[in-house]
Amino acid sequence: MTSLPKRESFFDKPVTPFRQALFVAAVALIFMGLSSVFPMSPNVKSAATMPWVIACAMLLFFAMANSVFALKATDGQKYWLYSIISYAVLFLFLCLTAWGISGKNIDEAGSIRWVLTVFTFGYLVLLSIVNLIRFLVFLAERSDAKKKESEDWY
């Protein structure tokens, strides 16, 4: 009887925050391009600010995906630093792209400034929670190792 080869999950592979940001930027460009190519009804109030809405959605997607991948990172501190840098670069890129496509700056786009502020602080809190969980797991594993070591001594 042959055994099936072990399938590796997508989440088992290390993905750097910069690759994640590059992927999200590409997807955002595709969506922004599609939103500007396909006409919207003139009655839709968000038609002119659609690139800004897409930028917000892509930043939120990056924040959630980056936090999930942070759980499997081998070096948590380096991942944290690279995540913050990649978020800042992605933030600037998406905002400049949305401004260029829509022709409206962030103040003319309605409440987008507040949405971006909330998403940014939410991302920082989420990444902090993930780091705290990683630390608590490390403490639990160290405690178990010490307990096992003391049991082996007897």
Range in 18-32, 61-75, 138-152 the model is least confident about: 138-152
Taking residues 134-154, what's their average pLDDT?
Answer: 81
Q: Who has greater pLDDT, 45 or 154?
A: 45
Taking residues 148-154, what's their average pLDDT?
Answer: 70
pLDDT averaged over every residue in the chain: 86
Between CA 113 and CA 89 the distance in angstroms is: 17
pLDDT tens per residue across span 38-97: 766 666 666 678 899 999 999 999 999 999 998 888 888 899 999 999 999 999 999 999
Residue 60: its H or E element? helix 50-70
% of residues, the chain, pLDDT over 90: 49
Between CA 138 and CA 145 the distance in angstroms is: 11
Between CA 58 and CA 100 the distance in angstroms is: 17
pLDDT category at 4 given cuts 50, 70, 90 is low
Between CA 144 and CA 63 the distance in angstroms is: 32
Taking residues 8-14, what's their average pLDDT?
Answer: 67
8 Å CB contact between 87 and 31: no
Residue 91: the pLDDT is 97
Q: Which pTM value belongs to this model?
A: 0.82
Q: For 39, how many CA atoms within 13 A lie in the half-sphere containing its CB?
A: 3
